[in-house]
Amino acid sequence: MSSDANKVKSGLGEAFPEIGTIPYNPEAGPDESLVFRYYNRSEVILGRTMEEWLRFSVCYWHTFRGTGADPFGAATFVRPWDDNSNSLENAKHRMRVAFEFMSKLGVRHWTFHDRDIAPEGKDLSESNANLDELVNLALELQESTGIKPLWATCNLFSNPRYMNGAATNPDAHVVAYAAAQVKKGLEVAKKLGAENFVFWGGREGYQSILNTDLHKELSNYANFLRMAVDYKEKISFKGQFLIEPKPKEPTKHQYDYDAMTVIGFLRTFGLEQHFKINVEPNHTTLAGHGNEHDILMASKLGMLGSVDANTGSPDLGWDTDQFPMDVKSCTLVMKAVIEQGGLQPGGLNFDAKVRRESTDAIDLFIAHIGAMDTFARGLRNAAHLIKDGVLDGRIKERYDTFSDGLGAKISKGQATLEECEGFVLKNGEPEQKSGKQEHFERILNYYV
């Protein structure tokens, strides 16, 4: 190991000594990657700064636990600050590097699973003790940097005990273990000041319907979430609870399939007042929807709480967790965010990983900077689109028959089938009206 690496591991040196705080320079050239061309954190747009609208967050698991391994090949990343051991010492080195990275990037939030930051022990007591050590270090680093968790969560999918699920496991012993882990996770979230707490049910589903009692598993899942709500109130944790949809992978079918499925589940079991949705667009496309679909659906129904900002490859059938670099997509996302008044206490968390072939540590910076710039462009575009009002005006015109007469009564839920029949008998066949999709697409392209 080099002397520089030893300094980093001892906590005396920097992991990225060649990189300072990333500056904003709108005049930067195309080959300058360690600079923000569009993200100007203090720029005011529609009454708020970019930083307030975007609320960027770095995820711990992909950025500091990712190795570049995939099902067909071994790890490709070599990080000088990480000896690949499962020791507490190595976990602490890794955390110090993470906060250096986030500070230089200029983000104010981070996200993590409990098992990302601290090694799992031989039993629950040892795991909790390990977690306490790393949480104490995280608290020190948060206080010195001003960075705090956008959200925390528990890894209820990696350990073999959860192979048949956590909250939906057919063994009550496993469900109890998962509940105990969430109890500790909520205590950690409160101590670190997390603004949200996420439930992602990666194993909450089934591989075969033949050995599955669907109603029992869904009911147990709801009861598990009720226990979490009760404990949240007991310890006075003020964070927002979020559920993150995904249709499949690792299970064949995941109960939290998409935003509408989650909303339906919450309303069925009377939990809709306690939870909102954390949308990950790559999960949305795996469900067969467009990239922005779940964000728009959840937002329009008042249930969008946060976004795991990433994207996938539409031609692939698995979760690729790529950094979002499509300006048009980010424009549509930010239009929804502005229209609902912001994401707070949620934000844009980069649940994304550099490609297996992007092996330089500096690539971590380049990927985040590129995505942050893309969302900054999306924010500016969306603000311009909203202020001009052209697109929204055309949409309003399209539905203008609901502004008065029978249409207004339909919109208010005051019409009857008899009234509709009488209207049609009097007025005959409706006039065919073009949807003008191509015109709407051209309007959007004008702003992008």
Catalytic positions are: 113
How far apart CA 267 and CA 245 sit, in angstroms, is 15
Distances (CA, A) of 390 to 18, 345, 385, 414, 438: 47, 30, 7, 31, 15
Q: What token pair was written down for 23?
A: 């500056």
CA gyration radius, the chain:
24
How far apart CA 12 and CA 136 sit, in angstroms, is 19
How far apart CA 278 and CA 259 sit, in angstroms, is 9
Cβ pair 75, 65 in contact under 8 A: no
The full DSSP string for 57-78 is EEEHHHHHH----BTTB-----
Q: Which amino acid is at 385?
A: L
How far apart CA 157 and CA 29 sit, in angstroms, is 44
Q: What token pair was written down for 382?
A: 């969306």
How far apart CA 339 and CA 395 sit, in angstroms, is 15
Q: What is the largest CA-CA distance in the chain?
A: 88
Q: Using CB atoms within 10 A of its CB, is residue 72 exposed (0-12), middle (13-18) or buried (19+)? A: exposed
Q: Which of 70, 66, 85, 228 shows the shortest CA–CA distance to 154? A: 228
How far apart CA 179 and CA 394 sit, in angstroms, is 50
